[in-house]
Amino acid sequence: MKRQRILLALSGASGAIYGLRLARELARRDVELTLTATPSGRLVCREETGLDLSGDPVEAGIRLAGHLGLKTAIRVVAPDDLFFASASGSAAPDAMIVCPCSMGTLGRIAAGISANLIERSADVMLKEHRPLLLAPRETPLSEIHLENMLRLARAGARIIPAMPAFYHQPRTLDDMIDFVVGKILDQAGFENSLYRRWSD
């Protein structure tokens, strides 16, 4: 059986920990995972988590795996590599997730702008009717933000805001992070037990 190909992108919104936790969970599954991050996404990741994703992509993949406690490196690609497979409709990944998703990135995707690998890959996912999951992390939301999210939802994207819940009675910060990551995995079609489900 062919391994599912997942493209995970980190943009410049706060909340890099969500993307890294998601990368760890996906890497533990039998998927072909590729990660890319915008320049501002790399800066935010370093500021918030201490992980440096800059420089040579191969070395960044090794650092990423070490940070996540994984034994094998994760493939990292440069955000301006428009020759990477996901930039072509004939080689689109099975799913793409932008987590965290800045309102700038979300707005450019909504406008059909394809200036970098993340934007072009998202454009490909929409035109090929493949799963595109966006995890915006912003507050408060302006009318422009809301209109862009509605436009993308109507185009087929799934909007999963980074909004922790409390019905599962989280006790730690990890519990709150895992709730959001679990919700994203749910929408991507991956079974998980990262949070306690609601039950009678």
Enumerate the known binding-site residues for FMN. Answer: 12-14, 38, 102-105, 137
Place of tokens 């993949």: 61
Closest CA to 177 of 66, 35, 20: 20
First to last CA, the chain: 37
Residue 13 · residue 103 · CB < 8 Å: yes
Which residues are documented as binding site?
12-14, 38, 102-105, 137, 167, 183
Residue 177 three-state SS = helix
Are 100 and 134 a contacting pair, CB within 8 Å? no
Distance CA 195, CA 158 (A): 20
* Binding-site residue ranges for dimethylallyl phosphate: 167, 183
Q: Is residue 77 within 8 Å of 33, Cβ to Cβ?
A: no
As a whole number of angstroms, the distance between CA 170 and CA 172 comes to 6
Residue 146's SS3 state is helix
